[in-house]
Amino acid sequence: MNSSTVLIIAEAFHPSNEIGARRATALARYLAVCGIRVVVVSAFGGEPIERGCELYPGVIAVPVARRGRRWVALLVTLKRKVLAPGKATPRTAKPAAGAESQARPVSLGARLRERYFQLVYFVDDYKRWTWHAARAAVRAGRQHGAALILVSAPPHSSLFAGAWAARRLGIPYVADLRDPWSDFLADTHPNRRIELRLLRALEGWVMRRAAAITSTGATAAGLLVGRDQSLAGRIHVIRNGYDGAIAPRLSHTGGRLSILFAGVLYIRRNPYPLLSALERLLSRPEVDPSRIQVTFMGDKDGEFSGHSLQHWLEGQRCASVVRILPAQSAERVAAEMAQATVLLNFAQQQPLHIPAKTYEHLASGREVLLICEASCETARLVAGMRGVIQVDQSDHGALEAVLLDLYRRHVVAGTLDVPAEADVRRFSRALSNERFYEVLSRLATFPAPLGPSCGLGLEPSSPG
């Protein structure tokens, strides 16, 4: 056995442009530069990666393709045909700011479809990939003499692959939780009691078999320990971080307020309270709309909770200042960020989850507007940090006051406030990698760490 070989199972890994690929990719590069051989089992974003090739020096690829479910794909195709243009019921009402869809009677067919998909997607929809990844991990582990396995989740089913492969190889495995698992279901679907009970049992089984557990969130880590005190000595909070260097501070706004949201409006990222506050701001006689631009980039249809942003904007004052763009290349996103004066982050009703873009925003050299409750972990992470404005979406008066303050500073005064480098530096990916090294070195014999001098916290781990 090679005591300096780490096997990583991560469905998302470079060259995948998924944001979830960055953590495992950066760690693999750091370990390789430290003299540790890294073998990665991944789908690699569906790219044609040759087995055994080196993605980076010392990082060996073991590709496992992800195959779709034909039956599920057929059902989705049929649904799209039924709801094709000309057949779907047109939308006539605009959603109220922060309002949820009205409850409607649920048909028997809809209930059966829901139960079917709950069964298919129990744990997640990567179970088939996980099975093939587990077998590939055992073969690769034997070939390269792996000393330990690290699993980057989600998908959470890959944790089973790690536990099974580690047992077959007789080596320890580390469960790295980028997102919470059963607690996410408990938060989003509290009525699914039977599913939650089963999921908690599986989660407990997998966690108890891990030699170490790493979590990006302190709240999620605390909940795991609260359910099983035996995990207390094995769980470690290792935050995500920003890749590359801290961007130069924007010294002057040029007399404009340019707000950018680059991402997808999924889960509970509700833009309507902010847009309503923007509408009220534009009604003020002293406000010049030509100096304001708000951009939503990355959402294919510009929708939230089934409602089109374009439809909401019809007839509104703010329609002239809001742009909605589909997903763009990494270069275009970087160019838009360079032009923005404020980066927008939504983390509403997500008490356990810190959006990965939070760290990129802090290192962007721009002011940050964070929409979330003060009690959530994202708000606690940046509490008291200069250059970050946190406001609750339910406080409509505060939203309008924040936008007015931004207008007066960015447009009238031409100034902005950005996070200080000293505050931002503690969220460097390099520091996260060093913390990972400390945890892993307790389980295997590694060369002496190189620390920040390795430079891997100073360049992007993957495009996009």
Q: Does pLDDT of 112 surpass 70?
A: no
DSSP 237: E
Q: Which amino acid appears at position 341 of this protein?
A: T
Residue, of 380 and 78, whose pLDDT is higher:
380
* Cβ proximity of 461 and 429 under 8 Å: yes
- In this structure, the answer to whether residues 35 and 149 fall within a common structural domain is yes
- In this structure, the answer to whether residues 215 and 324 fall within a common structural domain is no
Strands 59-63 and 54-56: antiparallel
- Residue ranges of the alpha helices (H) in 4-157? 21-33, 70-82, 108-120, 127-144
pTM of the model: 0.83
- In this structure, the answer to whether residues 308 and 447 fall within a common structural domain is no
Q: Does pLDDT of 107 surpass 90?
A: no
Structure tokens at 177: 């939780």
Mean pLDDT is highest, among 34-48, 60-74, 101-115, for 34-48
Q: Name the CA radius of gyration of the chain, rounded.
A: 23
Number of separate domains in the chain? 2
- In this structure, the answer to whether residues 166 and 308 fall within a common structural domain is no
Distance CA 163, CA 161 (A): 6
Q: Does pLDDT of 101 surpass 70?
A: no
CATH code for position 414: 3.40.50.2000
Structure tokens at 208: 């108890």
In a domain, 105, yes or no: no
- In this structure, the answer to whether residues 46 and 168 fall within a common structural domain is yes
Cβ-in-10-Å burial (0-12, 13-18, 19+) of 442 comes to: exposed
- In this structure, the answer to whether residues 171 and 204 fall within a common structural domain is yes
Average pLDDT, the chain: 86
- In this structure, the answer to whether residues 194 and 265 fall within a common structural domain is no
Distance CA 31, CA 33 (A): 5
- In this structure, the answer to whether residues 162 and 268 fall within a common structural domain is no
Question: pLDDT > 90: what percent of the chain?
Answer: 69
Crossing angle of helices 218-227 and 193-208, in 10° steps, is 90
Strands 148-153 and 5-9: parallel
In this predicted structure, what is the pLDDT of residue 464? Answer: 28
Among 189, 181, 184, residue whose Cα is nearest residue 205:
181
The whole domain housing 354 covers 257-422
- In this structure, the answer to whether residues 203 and 287 fall within a common structural domain is no
Pick from 120-124, 141-145, 411-415: least confident: 120-124
In a domain, 463, yes or no: no
CA quadruple 280, 284, 286, 287: dihedral sign: positive
The contacts of residue 381 (CB under 8 Å, 6+ apart) are: 239, 354, 358
In this predicted structure, what is the pLDDT of residue 184? Answer: 85
Question: pLDDT > 70: what percent of the chain?
Answer: 82
Residue pLDDT, tens place only, 239-263: 999 998 999 999 899 999 999 999 8
Confidence of residue 120 (pLDDT cuts 50, 70, 90): very low
Pick from 117-126, 193-202, 386-395: least confident: 117-126
- In this structure, the answer to whether residues 371 and 415 fall within a common structural domain is yes
